[in-house]
Amino acid sequence: MHSVTAADVADLARGAAVLGSGGGGNPYMGQLMAEHALAEHGPVTVLGLEEVPASSRVVAVMVMGTPTVFYEKMLAGDEMLRAVRAVSRAAGQAPTHLMPGEIGGVNATIPLVPAAESGLSLVDGDFMGRAFPELSMLLPALAGLSLAPLALTDEKGNVLVLEATDMDWGERIARVCSVAMGGTAVVAYAPLSPGQLRGAMAHGTVGRAQALGKAIRLAREDRRDPVEAARRVLSGVTVFRGKVVDVDGRPGGGFLWGRAVVEGTGPDTGTELVVRFQNEYLLATRGGRALVTTPNLICVLEEEGAQPVPADALRYGLRVAVVGAPCDEAWRSPQGLEITGPGHFGYDHPYAPLTAPGPADR
């Protein structure tokens, strides 16, 4: 058990931006909203699932949509609590706890707002262990649990309750609705019990995001290498360092699609890394060989201060370090790879286990 105060949110947002693997929405907007809510209503208690009573009902909440839209179409602020209340009415179960639907980007901090406003505690975990572009890419869905009904809300006051037959249909319908709502929407999932969640969530990810953001901040303050500090917390591998020389990104169908080319520096001089994304970074190749593939995390960090770079913020001239980090173990199962591996996104490369690049890769 620990508490998140307004002073803790910056570290949490920074770490969540790294875990977002390029996606998850603009963390700064969520940071401001969470800081305001915590300053007004007080700290939010974060509990491990083992600390949550068996009779509890946990509602997960998150934002879905095109990341670039989130810069211009800000939330009104009440969407999260309205979504939680709508799905609770539809399910006939009052929530006792809340949790993030995903830990990446804005979605780590957004649940703090309804938690602070309602006085409910937050469960330390999420449905992905990172960010993924589709609502069907959730650990409860992988475990065969129903997350219906879903509730979607927007800043205009619209509320939609969706009884999808499965999460593939939930993704298809909710994606269209989020586009109609202006490109983004807040989603709340049906309440689940601690027993249902035990094998259907990534545990401890709120605390992990906060520790990751803190490690980067302290390394900066102590003039140590913040990229190395992040790599250690992630148990990851630094696979490339270089300068962004080309970016091709385009919004469409509720996603941001594209690729970026990074020209190597230092030991990577003379080579190029190509990073492909659909909201999140999904594939990193050098010389046609995959160095990191989804569902493992591809974290693009500014080389100087390890500031995480979302896919929608990639710009020519940025000097970056690319870190690969292991995903939640469940995603590396045959069933997990079927819905989050490279093949699902149309890439010809097979899943590549995360290893340190050798001379042959350079």
Average pLDDT over residues 338-362: 83
Residue 251 identity (one-letter amino acid): P
**Which pLDDT score, from 0 to 100, does residue 50 have?**
97
The CA–CA distances, whole Å, from 287 to 2, 137, 270, 351, 360 equal 46, 29, 11, 17, 10
Alpha-carbon distance 326 to 174, whole Å?
A: 29
196: tokens are 């249902």
Residue 205 CB: number of other CB atoms within 10 A?
Answer: 27
The segment(s) of the chain belonging to CATH 2.40.390 are: 234-361
The whole-angstrom separation of Cα 33 and Cα 12 is 13
- In angstroms, rounded to a whole number, what is the distance separating the alpha carbons of residues 52 and 175? 32
Least trusted range by pLDDT, from 24-33, 98-107, 149-158, 222-231:
24-33
Is the pTM value of this prediction over 0.85? Answer: yes
Percent of the chain with pLDDT over 70: 98
Residues forming a β-bridge with 23:
none
* CA distances in angstroms from 186 to 75, 112, 181, 241, listed in the order given: 9, 14, 10, 36
Answer whether residue 361 shows pLDDT above 60. Answer: no
pLDDT digits (tens, 9 = 90+) for 14-45: 999 999 999 988 888 899 999 999 999 999 99
Mean pLDDT of the chain: 94
pLDDT score of 327: 97
Domain(s) labelled CATH 3.40.1610.10 in the chain stretch across 2-205
pLDDT at 362 over 60: no
* DSSP code at position 350: P
pLDDT tens across 284-342, in order? 999 999 999 999 999 999 999 999 999 989 999 999 999 999 999 999 999 999 999 99
Q: Looking at residues 192-219, what average pLDDT do you find?
A: 97
Q: Tell me the C-alpha distance between 318 and 291, whole Å.
A: 21
Beta bridge partners of 289: 286
Fold of the domain built from segment(s) 2-205: CV3147-like fold (3.40.1610)
Average pLDDT over residues 86-107: 96
In angstroms, the CA 29 to CA 109 distance is 9
Residue 7 has what DSSP assignment? G
Task: Report pLDDT for 358.
Answer: 60
pLDDT computed for residue 32 by the predictor: 95
The domain at 234-361 falls in which architecture? Beta Barrel (2.40)
Determine the pLDDT at residue 70: 72
CB 265 within 8 A of CB 241: yes
C-alpha 30/C-alpha 110 separation (Å) is 5
User: Does residue 71 sit in helix, strand or coil?
Assistant: helix
C-beta of residue 10 within 8 angstroms of C-beta of residue 213: yes
